Structure 1
Amino acid sequence: MSEQNIGSDYHIPVLYYETLDILNIQPDGVYVDCTFGGGGHSRGILERLGPEGRLVAFDQDADAAQNLPEDDRILFVPQNFRYLKRFLRLNGINGVDGILADLGVSSHQFDEGERGFSIRFDGPLDMRMDQNGGKKASDILLEYDAKQLQDMFSNYGEVTNSKTLAQHIVQHRSVAELKTIDSFKGMLQPIIKGNPNKYLAQVFQALRIEVNSELDALKEMLEQIPSVLNTGGVAAIITFHSLEDRLVKIFFKEETFEEKIENPFENSYKEKELKILTKKPIVPSQDELKKNARSRSSKLRAVEKL
């Protein structure tokens, strides 16, 4: 794929060549793109697959389906990747040769004001990636108590004054119209600390993660990797903030999220199933950073199934 054709206005794929190279795509293999989005990475995979190869593309955002290429080798699953194993089994696929997940929000979602993801536009406070159901961001702001809001902003946004922020929302939400981005930003003006754009970005990140259960979904998907990958298969995960990256790093190293309880009378050694391919995460080149500013926080980690 020529450089100018990578991605689209919908979304420019990050760490494109690095991801495709580390997946080591076999022409007759079966691959999964857990976050189809604009289809940039998927098109790259399809270019390296032969006529017998297959690609399964997951995306819970209905808008993503409009980017599907006309290609019989691709199967689109309009679901969250937390259901990875279930939908592979439903389609008669017992093992795959590679898994890709490009986490976070697509350029398209950020640039569509009515989706409510960006602080740059006014629009409804929605933030749902799957718009078929679930709580909107506005519902959470209106329904959560102060402790729930504080925990959300502290844990998911690392907001420095999360307690003050939570109390401020609870005190003012009955009179403020918390349905739009501008109304919410207006409410926050008196308590913003430091750089307003950075502060609001942290607040919005926390809300988005809560609305979409992003970290829980990521953990569930990661836990399925060892049982879904064929021997020699590769899983490549691109993260965009430290909360995601920490989960990926922990799972790739420990192969579990369960706390280990040391028992001196029990040999709890478990044979490793995954080999880490990225001692340090792969980050964008200077050239990519110049062309796509949104790639600046991205990190790629990968493992191979032993």
Structure 2
Amino acid sequence: MNALYSHETVLKQEAVDALRVEGSGVYVDGTFGRGGHSRLILEQLGDSGRLYVIDCDPEAIAEAQQLAAEDDRVTVCAGTFGELQELLSDQGVTAVDGLLFDFGVSSPQIDQAERGFSFQRSGPLDMRMDNSQGLSAAEWLASAEPQEMRQVFWRYGEEKNANRIARKIAEVRMEKPLQTTAELAQLVAEINFRDHKNPATRVFQAIRIHINKELEQIEQVLPQACDLLLPGGRLVVISFHSLEDRIVKRFMKKRSKTAPVDRRMPVEINQEQPELRLVGKPLKAVDVDANVRARSAIMRVAEKRHVD
């Protein structure tokens, strides 16, 4: 991998420690990225252990395949993490000892201007995790109704000027659709010129989340992960902003409590028990000097309960 696009994996040791890797276990790195977590898992995995890695980014898949060529304990599954059960089923896997998810966009994706994720580097407006399919950011901005854009900018970016920005994009594209990250960043800056941080931050985040269906995938994958976990297995999740973490927090909290019952009804012997047990407190990244983008990272851990 080009040194320019190096990536310092956030909470790497902490996340893998939380997995409690057993030598003969079966584990899933649901967001391979550049393989920082996977390589550390492999250091703790025995000869009979297995690691399944998932990613939809073509460059991440290429790196994962290189790792698999060097280590036969690794199996690469090309696809989105929201397809977890289907991807593992294709490999004959129906139960695992641990799953790790590191949500968000990686530094190599941000740093490559041609991927279109960054407002700091001029490049084509793409923003797709898998840039071989689906609508690019430019295509969505050229066709979306102003009301849809407004809702996306507010819901996923909490952009206070969502309506003005959406109307401006609709106005500009009548003459010439936006094609580059620099064009979009400049348009937003003209409206958010008093913003204390880069004025395009929230809009770029919102578009990326929307076109990649990131939150929908998180909502899809968490129940699948819970179903796949063996008793005693761990689910480790790293989120990078409040929208992601809120979904994870609510899911783990709900699955770690017994279902509410009517106090007027007799207690049933076979009353359904919680599926998960929360492990420790949420952990935030502390040393972020090597990766300042990780300053908002938060890790949550849950364990599958044994059936009584």
Q: TM-score with structure 2 length normalisation? A: 0.90
Q: CA contact under 8 A between 2:189 and 2:200: conserved in structure 1? A: no
Unaligned runs of 5+ in 1: 1-6
Unaligned runs of 5+ in 2: none
CA separation of 1:8 and 1:42: change in aligned 2, threshold 3 A: farther
Q: 1:52 aligns with which of 48, 57, 61?
A: 48
Separation of aligned partners in 1, 2:4 and 2:52? 20
Aligned residues: 294
Q: CA contact under 8 A between 2:150 and 2:162: conserved in structure 1? A: yes
Q: Please identify, of 30-39 and 85-94, the stretch whose mean Cα deviation from structure 2 is larger.
A: 85-94
Write the deviation string for residues 277-301 of structure 1: whole angstroms up to 9, x where unpaired: 133x10122xx22232121000000
Between the two proteins, what is the percent identity of the paired residues? 38
CA separation of 1:196 and 1:139: change in aligned 2, threshold 3 A: farther
Any residues of structure 2 matched to 1:105-124 within 5 Å, and which? 105-124=105-124
SS of equivalent residue, structure 1 residue 290 = coil
Any residues of structure 2 matched to 1:1-306 within 5 Å, and which? 9-68=5-64, 69=67, 70-195=70-195, 197-255=197-255, 270-279=272-281, 281-285=282-286, 288-306=287-305
Write the deviation string for residues 16-46 of structure 1: whole angstroms up to 9, x where unpaired: 1111111000000000001101111000000
Q: Give the letter for the 1:71 counterpart.
A: D
SS of equivalent residue, structure 2 residue 8 = coil
Q: Give the letter for the 1:191 counterpart.
A: I
Write the deviation string for residues 52-93 of structure 1: whole angstroms up to 9, x where unpaired: 000000000010123232100000011001111111111111
**Which runs of structure 1 show a deviation greater than 4 angstroms over 4 or more consecutive aligned residues?**
260-269
Q: CA contact under 8 A between 1:38 and 1:64: conserved in structure 2? A: yes
Separation of aligned partners in 2, 1:261 and 1:233? 25
Counterpart for residue 4 of structure 1: none
CA separation of 1:262 and 1:16: change in aligned 2, threshold 3 A: same
Separation of aligned partners in 1, 2:102 and 2:214? 13
Q: CA RMSD in A?
A: 2.2
Q: TM-score with structure 1 length normalisation? A: 0.90
Give the C-alpha shift of residue 264 in structure 1.
8.4
Q: CA contact under 8 A between 1:176 and 1:187: conserved in structure 2? A: no
